[in-house]
Amino acid sequence: MTIYWVIGYFLVLVLTLLYKTPIVRGPWLFLLRSFFPNWKFFHAVGYVPHLYARAAIANADGQLAWSDWTHLYPRTQQHFWYLFHNPVTNLGLAQQNLIDHFWADLNDAPDGSDPRNFVSYQMVAHFVAGVLKAQHPTHTHSQFEMRMLLDNTTETVHTHVMMTSPVAALT
């Protein structure tokens, strides 16, 4: 009897590998997707999207003095209390989910399209503006990059810049 369950299991496994589900698209689903996590990180091992930003202050002669690129999703420290209450890491996961959605939008966009028209771009730009305002309160300009990083267990092996935003002046 057990052999039939094992054979049935493998038949279901083969069927799930062969059957491709359609991609569901639509304007309302697009707007509601922020409530659902992006599970594409299970799809393949390889490059992972990361967001970097920098701030600038305009000098007296009009030149911009840029800060170093800052990684906007550094890992948080682990604490025992975080097993029960962990709003900081939950917010970080939501922000990384936004970055994953933005990467998916960039990846699915036709060549030559302007990413500034994406809702995810505007949300990322708003996120970057908030972080840079906290880190550099007197900055006048900002810029961010979507980078694809290939990591091994100890270091980053390769980096590919997927998109660099135009320089944005504060209004």
Residue 141, pLDDT score: 93
pLDDT per residue over 112-123, tens digit each? 899 999 999 999
- Asked if the structure places residue 26 within a domain, the reply is no
pLDDT per residue over 36-69, tens digit each? 555 555 545 678 889 999 999 988 888 999 999 9
- Asked if the structure places residue 114 within a domain, the reply is yes
pTM for the model stands at 0.69
- Asked if the structure places residue 2 within a domain, the reply is no
**Hey, is 98 helix, strand or coil?**
helix
Q: How many domains does the chain have?
A: 1
- Asked if the structure places residue 92 within a domain, the reply is yes
- Asked if the structure places residue 8 within a domain, the reply is no
Q: What b/e readout covers 123-137, taking b as 16+ CB neighbours within 10 angstroms? A: bbbebbbebbeeebe
Give the domain range for residue 97: 36-169
Triad 83, 89, 94: Cα angle to 5°: 130
- Asked if the structure places residue 132 within a domain, the reply is yes
- Asked if the structure places residue 84 within a domain, the reply is yes
Q: What is the DSSP letter of 67?
A: P
**Hey, is 140 helix, strand or coil?**
coil
Sign of CA dihedral 145, 150, 153, 155: negative
- Asked if the structure places residue 165 within a domain, the reply is yes
Quote the CA–CA distance of 103 and 163 in Å, as a whole number.
9
pLDDT per residue over 126-157, tens digit each? 999 999 999 999 999 999 999 998 877 788 78
